[in-house]
Amino acid sequence: MAEGNKMREMSVNKLMVQMGIPMILSMALQAVYNIVDSAFVGNMRRGSEAALNALTLVFPVQMLMVAVGIGTGVGTNALLARTLGQGNEKKAAKVAGNSLFLGIIIYAICLLFGIFGVKAYISSQTVDPEVVSMGTSYLRICCIISFGIISFSLFEKLLQATGRSLYSTIGQVVGAVINIILDPIMIYGIGPIPEMGVEGAAYATVIGQVVSAVLLFVFHIKMNKEFEHNVKYMKPDGGIIREIYAIGLPAIIAQALMSIMVYAMNLILKFSPSAQTAYGLFYKVQQFVLFLAFGLRDAITPIIAFAYGMHSKKRVQDGIMYGLIYTIVLMIVGVAITEIFPGAFATLFNAGQSREYFIGAMRIISVSFIFAGINVAYQGIYQALDGGIESLVISLLRQLIVILPLAGIFSTFVRNGQMGISLIWWAFPITELIACLVGYVFLKKIRKNKVERLS
């Protein structure tokens, strides 16, 4: 079945599985090589504890770069899928071209921060000179060569919008494998390659990202034949850029809030470097689980957006139903893994003094995964149905309005010695449950006002 016909005619259940599995595997692999990075760094011969702390501190900026790239891609994805559903090929070409123009602007900003802002950012979270040095070196490399991850994020969404998620997965897999192979070679120094420590981890990461981006660019040019490819379509079009960010800006803010939340949690936990490192390590495990939901969300959004463009009420309803069912199943598996194997993850990272805090965080925070996964699915549904504000509100609740005040209040009891550090971890399940309840109310409203009115 041709790709365009597949989005229009294949049963939604089958389409969700066919598109979702490659995306889930792609996101899972991305999370795995984040874990592998930390595992290799945690087993360095010298300075492994400082290196793990440095990676914890740089992580929010890495997430922010990905947030802007993916958020722009999400807006492009939903708008392009809807435009193709309406049969408007000329506008589709402009949507794709303008997304690439935006990618150039995003890279220029990351480059400037990499040159001028990195050291001040790292120094705001720690006074340890070894951690400052390692974090600055790692983050500077990632920012200066960030064109790989930004380009990859955009081309990935362009392929997903036309139903070609398998090709985006191939690009992700190739980049991840290259990263994993290069990590030990460049971190420890093997053969003619000198030992580079955390800088080696950074170079391995950006090389893998650049290779992925180049591969997806080739797939985009050769496979996405539904619209024309030409440099003239990169000319900025204010109307299309506004449409992209009407959908994508809430996604950017949602992802950026993750960066703000991790940065703020690092400040809240600054009184205990071991707890700070434990949270950073756990966050990478948490990403592995939640990235499964993000992968499925990237199938939910174009499927529902295409159906909404077709004015197919049944296909929109099926997309919502199957998206939520499969998300819950994935999250149950994620909870089982993290509750059963916390000690194995601690050993993998060589967590050292952070081990006890890490295991405690894993056992408590993983309770929130089912609610968090549902919230991620809700946001994919909202974005497909022009519900950007609802998506933004859920993100604000999850990553700012509820979580940070709650964690801050709990931390005062911990610092005063009245309670253990585990009290802070309970802020996460409480927050996700509250956001999930609000998200359900939003979903009922959107279904009534938009889905039920479709012919």
Q: Using one digit for the tens of pLDDT, what is the confidence trace for 125-175?
A: 888 899 999 999 999 999 999 999 999 999 998 998 887 878 888 888 899
Asked if the model's pLDDT at residue 319 lies above 80, the reply is: yes
* Residues 114 and 185 placed together within one structural domain of the fold: yes
Whether 1 maps to a domain, the answer reads: no
User: The tokens of 90 are what?
Assistant: 């000329």
User: The tokens of 302 are what?
Assistant: 């174009």
- 389 CB neighbour count, 10 Å cutoff: 12
CA separation for the pair 109, 17 (Å, rounded): 37
Instruction: Give me the number of domains the chain comprises.
Output: 2
- How is 126-184 classified by DSSP, letter by letter? ---HHHHHHHHHHHHHHHHTTHHHHHHHHHHHHHHHTT-HHHHHHHHHHHHHHHHHHHH
Q: Which of 179, 201, 236 is the last residue of a domain?
A: 236
* Residues 422 and 275 placed together within one structural domain of the fold: yes
R_g of the chain, CA atoms, integer Å: 21
pTM, entire model = 0.73
User: The tokens of 20 are what?
Assistant: 């979702």
Which band of pLDDT confidence, cut at 50, 70 and 90, is reported for residue 452?
A: confident
Whether 3 maps to a domain, the answer reads: no
Q: Which comes out higher in pLDDT, residue 178 or 86?
A: 178
Share of the chain above pLDDT 70, in %: 98
Helix 313-340 and helix 12-42: axis angle, to 10°?
30
Cα–Cα nearest to 205, from 170, 176, 173, 168: 176
- How is 224-272 classified by DSSP, letter by letter? --SS---GGGGS--HHHHHHHHHHHHHHHHHHHHHHHHHHHHHHHGGG-
* Residues 53 and 121 placed together within one structural domain of the fold: yes
* Residues 155 and 265 placed together within one structural domain of the fold: no
Whether 433 maps to a domain, the answer reads: yes
* Residues 228 and 256 placed together within one structural domain of the fold: no
* Residues 319 and 411 placed together within one structural domain of the fold: yes
177 CB-contact burial (10 Å; exposed 0-12 / middle 13-18 / buried 19+): middle
Tens of pLDDT along 386-416?
A: 887 898 899 899 989 999 999 999 999 998 7
Whether 173 maps to a domain, the answer reads: yes
* Residues 390 and 317 placed together within one structural domain of the fold: yes
CA separation for the pair 370, 385 (Å, rounded): 23
CA separation for the pair 372, 154 (Å, rounded): 25
Q: Which of 175, 205, 236 is the last residue of a domain?
A: 236
Identify the pLDDT of residue 5: 67
Whether 244 maps to a domain, the answer reads: no
Asked if the model's pLDDT at residue 4 lies above 60, the reply is: no
Whether 424 maps to a domain, the answer reads: yes
Which band of pLDDT confidence, cut at 50, 70 and 90, is reported for residue 368?
A: very high
**C-beta separation of 276 from 269 below 8 A:** yes
Q: Which of 177, 212, 236 is the last residue of a domain?
A: 236
Asked if the model's pLDDT at residue 378 lies above 90, the reply is: yes
Whether 93 maps to a domain, the answer reads: yes
Q: Which uninterrupted H or E stretch holds 305?
A: helix 273-310
* Residues 80 and 168 placed together within one structural domain of the fold: yes
180-208 burial: b if 16+ Cβ within 10 Å, else e = bebbbbbbbeeeeeeebbbbbbbbbbbbb
Identify the pLDDT of residue 234: 92
Which band of pLDDT confidence, cut at 50, 70 and 90, is reported for residue 455?
A: low
Whether 103 maps to a domain, the answer reads: yes
* Residues 286 and 165 placed together within one structural domain of the fold: no
Share of the chain above pLDDT 90, in %: 50
* Residues 200 and 325 placed together within one structural domain of the fold: no
Q: Which comes out higher in pLDDT, residue 195 or 417?
A: 195
Domain that holds residue 372: 250-454
* Residues 263 and 230 placed together within one structural domain of the fold: no
Q: Which comes out higher in pLDDT, residue 265 or 47?
A: 265
Identify the pLDDT of residue 2: 52
* Residues 323 and 448 placed together within one structural domain of the fold: yes
